[in-house]
Each structure stands twice: as C-alpha cells, then as structure tokens.
Structure 1
Amino acid sequence: MSHIVTVQEAVTAFADWMEPTDAELDAIDAEMPAILADVEELDVRIALLDRVHGELDTRRARRERHRVLVERATVANRAAVREVA
C-alpha cells in the first residue's frame, strides 16, 4: 500500500516575494469601492432568494445593480486616465 503525502515545505511555503507589492495593494485600494458594491449587491440578491419580491425589493436590487455599474465605470475611467497620463 502506498501512502499519499504532501510535501510540507511546498504546502506551507512562505517567502517575502510572495507578499503583494505596493503597486498591487494600491490597485486593490483603487478597486475597493467596486468590490464593496459587488458585495452589497450580492447581499441584496441573497436576501431576496427566499421570499417574494415586492416593489421595494425590486427597487433595492435595481439600485444596488446601478451602484455596481457606476463604481465599475469609475474604476475603468480612472484606469484610462492613468494610461493616458
């Protein structure tokens, strides 16, 4: 019988070069409003899964979807401005 084992070093490897760079952290910070808008939209969708949708629920879902689109457009516009500059 052969045993299946993991290589402990490969599984728990840690090195300084594995940490995100400052540029990557800045990119995450720049996209954070869009990420949070996505999370809020998902929260609304999850809340509406197990009940009948009323007019206010529909408006809330539509408002959150609009917020996501606005935030994504803002992030995309910022990226386009950085590329041009």
Structure 2
Amino acid sequence: MKHIVTVQEAVTAFAPDLEPTAAELDAIEQEMPVILADVELLDAQILTLDRTPNELDERRIRRARRKALAARVTLANTAAVKPGVGA
C-alpha cells in the first residue's frame, strides 16, 4: 500500500516569495475597471437565473454588457499607448 502524503509544507514554505510584484499590482490596478464591470454583468445575469428576465432585467444586463465592453476598449486603448499594460 502506498502512503499519500500532502505537500502543504513545501507549498507554503515559499509563500513570502510568491507575493505579487509592484508591476503586477499596477497591472491589476489598470485592469480593475474591467474586473468591476464584469462583476456587475455577472450580478445582473445571476439575478435572472431563477426567473424569466423582465424588461428591467434586460436593460440592466444590456447596460452592464455595454459598460464591460467600454471598460475593455478603454483598457485596450491604454495598453496600445503604454506597452506592457493589460497584457
């Protein structure tokens, strides 16, 4: 019989070295509007999972989709101007 052992100690032994760098944090900060817009879209879609969407729900989803798309376009345009951002 083989013994199954965990590798928890090996994984957490290097945890301090796995912190995000300043560049990674800056990239996350640049992408935050896209992340928040996607969360808003998901929230709007989740509201309609257990019921038939009414007119207000459909408007909310369309508005959230437009906002998410606009945030992505803004991020893409920013990335085109500043290489290395949003990659």
Q: For structure 1, which runs of at least 5 residues remain unmatched after alignment? A: none
User: Which amino acid in 1 is paired with 2:56?
Assistant: L
Q: For structure 2, which runs of at least 5 residues remain unmatched after alignment? A: none
* Deviation of the 1:11 alpha carbon: 2.7
* Deviation of the 1:3 alpha carbon: 1.2
The alignment's TM-score, normalised by the length of structure 2, stands at: 0.86
The alignment's TM-score, normalised by the length of structure 1, stands at: 0.88
Instruction: Tell me the matched-pair count.
Output: 83
User: Which amino acid in 1 is paired with 2:37?
Assistant: A
Give the equivalent residue in structure 2 for 1:26.
26
Q: Where has structure 1 moved over 6 Å in runs of 4 or more?
A: none
Write the distance in 2 (CA, Å) between the matches of 1:15 and 1:3: 26
Give the equivalent residue in structure 1 for 2:39.
39
Alignment of 1:57 with 2:50, yes or no, is no
SS of aligned partner of 1:12: helix
* Deviation of the 1:70 alpha carbon: 0.3
- Higher helix content, 1 or 2: 1
* Deviation of the 1:15 alpha carbon: 4.5
